[in-house]
Chains A and B, each alone.
Chain A
Amino acid sequence: MPVIALDAVSYRYPEADRPALSDITVAVDPGDVILLRGASGSGKSTLLRSLNGLVPHSTGGQFRGRVVVCGLDTREHPPRQLATHIGFVFQHPDAQFVLEDVEAELAFGLENLGLSRPLMRKRVEEVIDQVGINPLRRRRIDTLSGGERQRVAIAAALAMHPDALALDEPTSQLDPQAAEDVLQVVLRLVAELGMTTVIAEHRVERIAPFVDRIWTLDAGVLRDQPPRVALAEGGARPPVVDLALRAGWTPIPLGLRDARVHAQRLPAVPANPAPADGNGPIICRLDGLDHRFDTVTAVRGVSLTLRRGQVVALMGRNGSGKTTLLKLIAGAVRPQRGTVTNEGIPAYVPQDADTLLFAASVDEELRGQSAEVIAPFAAWLHRYPRDLSSGERQQLAIALMGARADLLLLDEPTRGLDPQVKRALSTYLRTRARAGAGILVATHDVEWAARTADRILLMADGEIYADGPPATVLSDSLVFATQISKLVGGGWLLPEEVPL
């Protein structure tokens, strides 16, 4: 009997003009791992929320068909009754924490179920070991890093002993290492417990080798396919699959391990990286920049130059000082030592682009902008900015902030974006750079940086410790390396570059 079964499920949000889910019929067998993918706004979160009854119990709207989880129809059983059957992990872990410290948070759901104290203790200890968070158990949640918080959120869901787990883009807010840690936890649960898992995830390269089926959502319509078929068709897929399709490898390898057999046959031609320094006029010069927040040094002795016509990616783990450096350049924070000399007008776009949008309509947001800036948004002018998808909001914020600037400083602009929107962002930034702007982007997205940037800066502990062309910096790094670089080496970063 399937753990999860959807039978002709359609759903429309209140006052929406089109359905979020259209006539979906699909089933998940016990122990199956499903990768759910699709563009931003395609209905991934809605589908996941329908599995534990949040859609429609929490959202309202028109719901047709049936979702049955472990024999329970979600129309008749509210989410709190389904909590023991399906655990849910939200995109933003902060949205689900109720109490201040880790152990209390793990026990919160168990207390709600009215379990006996010895049983709760047993479950908490088990889940701490399963997820590997023993060192965190007595910590306050507000002191945890993003990756640690997400692992605690998974543990809290798992403590309820659900039959299945639904994860809504659990790594979208994390740096590569933290994302890797979270996905390792998920994969361990799959391998050791045979946990039925439905996971929406943009970083498909890590999870693809382990999935049984791929669900692809496109405007609410679902296709349920075996992984190789789905990935060959298109959509978000690992770079190694792109290379395999280009090279004609069969069967298509889903991960690095399978691909290595084929990669041995590739000619060993080293890449010839272009110099990163560029020859455009200098737009920004930093000299001995220092900044501290109380006892924490955020930026330490940073000196560098940025040039017009260049897209520079600034990478490093969470808390390495990237955001502070961008704010120092933008003038939003004053350096305590050193100087920032800007030869152009800087514009800083923060991580949460939502905060930049506060008008009642896109039209109002764009008031006073040139026709050239407004043109790409002509179709959305009447819409409320916060009703746009995350990619659309990001585009609007960048257009607003960057309209009159010639030094664009973007903080994690690809966070939570689907591959199509990321490609559009790359094109936009390349176009702006060609037109003479200087661009500095703080990002964790290695694949996107390799595709977009002319130069990579790696930052740790407030210092820039690597500076060079992507082919040099990203192929040298263990953490900040593209999948293709890990596979073929030689300074090749992208599947389309590799000589066959």
Chain B
Amino acid sequence: MIHHPLAWGGWTIAALAAAFIDRNPYLQALLLLVVINVYLPYRGKRRASTWKFGIALAIVPIFFSVALSRFGRHVLFTLPPIPIIGGRWTLDAVAFGASTGLALLLTVAVFAVLQTTVRSADVVAVLPRPLYRPGTTVALALAFAPKTLAAFQSIRDARQLRGQRTSWRSAPALLLPLLLTTLERALQYGESLDARGFGSGRRSRYRPLHWTAADLLVVIASLAAIVLIAVLPAVPYNPYVNLVPVLPNPDRLLAVGLLAAPALTASLLRVDHARHRA
């Protein structure tokens, strides 16, 4: 299995490059399959709540594209001249929005894999000593984000319980208590760090990370994928020009296929579920 955060970092860069450079639907679908196959063996018992967000994010561009774009030759229907939404609604616009949405879904999926597999303790452990303090601060900030979102949700719920509507106008009323809650928490974190000896001198490492053959394999595969993606010509997709995408070249498919290396190593070396169980 893959432990090293730098190996996952390399894989993430390669996967994001593939998601953004190649907008060909065949390649996007293949990449999505690859990412799901990488995610599954590493997720342990965790629920995939991020995916819901990703799917919601993928639908938004389809809606905007089809509602706002009047271009394309494959007309689905025509609305009377109503401002903004009136005119021809086209399949080309749906395809364009779907392609954009799929790229966003892939981005969320890649970060979901990163979030599942990389622990902030490991990130802090691989940082050079001069970067330890800012690194810990970043790790804390990352841990802080979901708690801040939860605080925002509870403040919003509380407003609704008091019969107050939540809209853009109420944003300042929501933000003030959120800011105060966040500040209170930040102070508590600061106290906790102080009480646990943070910054008292030279720091040691409990479990330094070592490179394994699987880590190296993933790094090599990710580097190869990056090179292929950067060097080989991209397979563009513009549904307004040609609705049916062209089939990608085998070398392009190989570049995306290389990103399955973590899934391959997991199945070959058996994932240590104990380490990743939730």
Contacts and interface: CB of A to CB of B under 8 A. Distances in A.
A389 interface: no
Contacts of A348: 161
A401 B204 CA distance: 52
Given A104-B206, A294-B47, A355 B199 contact: no
Contacts of A294: 47
A92 interface: yes
Nearest to A159: B196
A97 B120 CA distance: 12
Contacts of A54: 191, 194-195
A112 interface: yes
Contacts of B160: 332
B120 A99 contact: yes
Contacts of A111: 203-206
Given A92-B188, A98-B139, A356 B195 contact: no
Interface residues of B, number: 52
Tier of interface size on chain A: 35 or more
A96 B191 CA distance: 8
Interface stretch (A74-82, A223-231, A278-286): A74-82
Interface string A280-311: 00000000000000110000000000000000
B205 A117 contact: yes
A250 interface: no
A392 interface: no
Given A100-B119, A117-B206, A356 B193 contact: no
A114 B121 contact: no
Interface stretch (A136-144, A370-378, A487-495): A136-144
Interface stretch (B66-74, B172-180, B258-266): B172-180
Interface stretch (A33-41, A83-91, A265-273): A83-91
A96 B195 contact: yes
Contact of B195 (A79, A400, A401): A79
Contacts of B161: 330, 332, 347-348, 350, 356, 401
B180 A95 contact: no
B12 interface: no
Q: List 5 A-B pairs, minimum CB-CB distance, nearest first.
A: A107-B206, A104-B121, A96-B192, A83-B197, A95-B188
B204 A98 contact: no
A8 interface: no
A401 B162 contact: yes
Given A332-B157, A356-B162, A400-B162, A80 B188 contact: no
A114 B158 contact: no
A123 to B, nearest CB: 10
Given A116-B204, A358-B177, A80 B275 contact: no
Given A99-B120, A100-B119, A355-B157, A83 B192 contact: no
A313 interface: no
B246 to A, nearest CB: 40
B155 interface: yes
B121 A109 contact: no
A179 to B, nearest CB: 21
Contacts of B204: 110-111, 113-117, 120
Contacts of B278: 139-140, 143
18 contacts: A58-B191, A58-B194, A80-B196, A96-B188, A100-B143, A103-B206, A104-B206, A110-B204, A111-B204, A112-B197, A112-B199, A114-B204, A124-B206, A355-B177, A355-B181, A356-B162, A358-B176, A400-B162
A83 B200 contact: yes
A95 B195 contact: no
Contacts of A277: none
Nearest to B205: A111
Contacts of B177: 354-355, 357-358
Interface string A50-75: 00101001100000000000000000
A354 B181 CA distance: 9
Contact of A78 (B190, B194, B196): B194
Nearest to A348: B161
Contacts of B270: none
Contacts of A108: 196
Contacts of B143: 97-100
